A and B are shown apart, each in its own frame.
Chain A
Amino acid sequence: MSAVATTYETVIGLEVHAQLLTRSKMFCGCPATFGARPNTQTCPVCLGMPGVLPVVNRRAVEFGIRTALAFGCRVNESCRFARKHYYYPDMPKNYQISQYEEPLAEDGFLEIDLEGGTRAIGIQRLHLEEDVGKLLHEGTLETAQASLVDFNRSGVPLMETVSRPDLQSPEEAAAYLRAFRSVLIFLGVCDGNMEEGSLRCDANVSIRPRGSTTLGTKVEIKNLNSFRNVQRALEFEVRRQAQALDSGERIVQETRLWEADRGYTRSMRSKEFAHDYRYFPEPDLVPLRIDRRWVEEIRASLPELPRAWRQRAVAQYGLPAYDAEVLTQSRALVDYYETALREWGGAAGAGTERPKILSNWIMSELLRVLSGDDERAIQSSPIPPRRLVGLLELIENSTISGKIAKDVFQKMFDSGEDARTIVERDGLTQVADEGALGHVIESVMAANPKAIEDYRRGKKEAKGALVGQVMKATRGKANPALVNRLLEAKLAQT
Chain B
Amino acid sequence: MHRPIHELTDAYRRGDLKPTAVAEDYLARIGALDGKVGAYLTVMREHALDAARESEQRWRSGSPRGPLDGAPIAVKDVLCTAGVRTTCGSKMLERFVPPYDATTVERLRAAGAVLLGKTNMDEFAMGSSTEHSAYHPTHNPWDLTRVPGGSSGGSAAAVAGGLAAGSYGSDTGGSIRQPAAFCGVVGMKPTYGRVSRYGLIALASSLDQIGPFAQDVTDTALLLGAVAGHDPRDSTSIDAPVPDYTAELPKGVAGLTLGLPDEYFIDGMDPDIERAVRQAIEVLKGLGAKIERVSLPTTRHSLAAYYVILPAEASSNLARYDGVKYGLRVAGRDLVDMESRTRSAGFGAEVKRRIMLGTYALSAGYYDAYYGKAQSVRTLVRREFAAAFAKVDLIVAPTTPNIAFKHGEKEDPLSMYLNDVFTIPGNLSGIPGVSVPCGFSTAGLPIGLQVLGRPLDEARVLRAAYAYEQATSWRSRRPELA
Contact = CB atoms under 8 A, between A and B. Distances in A.
Interface stretch (B22-30, B45-53, B285-293, B357-365): B357-365
- Is chain A's interface secondary structure helix, strand, loop, or mixed overall? loop
A95 B320 CA distance: 8
A49 B101 CA distance: 12
B184 interface: no
Interface of B: 79-80, 86, 88, 93, 96, 98-100, 102, 197-202, 204-206, 232-236, 312-313, 316, 319-320, 322, 324-326, 335-336, 339, 359, 362-364, 367, 371
Q: Give me the 3 closest cross-chain CB pairs, A-B, nearest first.
A: A283-B205, A94-B319, A278-B362
Given A56-B235, A94-B320, A51 B325 contact: no
A44 B100 contact: yes
A92 B198 CA distance: 17
B80 A51 contact: yes
Contacts of B96: 50
A314 interface: no
Contacts of A284: 202, 205, 235-236
Contact of B199 (A48, A51, A92, A95): A51
Given A50-B93, A51-B98, A280-B367, 17 more contacts: A44-B98, A47-B325, A49-B326, A50-B326, A51-B200, A54-B235, A55-B235, A56-B235, A87-B319, A94-B320, A94-B322, A278-B362, A280-B312, A280-B362, A283-B205, A284-B205, A286-B235
A283 B100 contact: no
A51 B362 contact: no
B311 to A, nearest CB: 12
Contacts of B80: 49-51
B363 A278 contact: yes
A238 B233 CA distance: 49
Given A87-B322, A92-B325, A51 B102 contact: yes
B316 A280 contact: yes
Contacts, number: 96
Contacts of A402: none
B235 A93 contact: no
A93 B320 contact: yes
B357 to A, nearest CB: 13
How many interface residues does chain A have, given as a range? 20 to 34
Given A52-B198, A87-B322, A95-B319, A280 B371 contact: yes
A95 B364 CA distance: 16
Interface in A59-100: 83, 85, 87, 89, 92-95
Given A51-B102, A53-B235, A278-B359, A83 B93 contact: no
Contacts of A93: 319-320
B41 to A, nearest CB: 15
23 contacts: A44-B99, A48-B320, A49-B100, A49-B325, A49-B326, A50-B93, A50-B96, A51-B79, A51-B98, A51-B102, A52-B199, A53-B198, A53-B233, A55-B233, A85-B316, A87-B322, A89-B335, A92-B320, A92-B325, A147-B335, A276-B364, A278-B363, A283-B313
Contacts of B199: 51-52
A285 interface: yes
A49 B320 CA distance: 8
A150 B413 CA distance: 41
A149 interface: yes
Contacts of A279: 367
A344 B410 CA distance: 89
A50 B98 contact: yes
Interface string A269-311: 0000000101110011110000000000000000000000000
A151 B324 CA distance: 12
A50 B319 contact: no
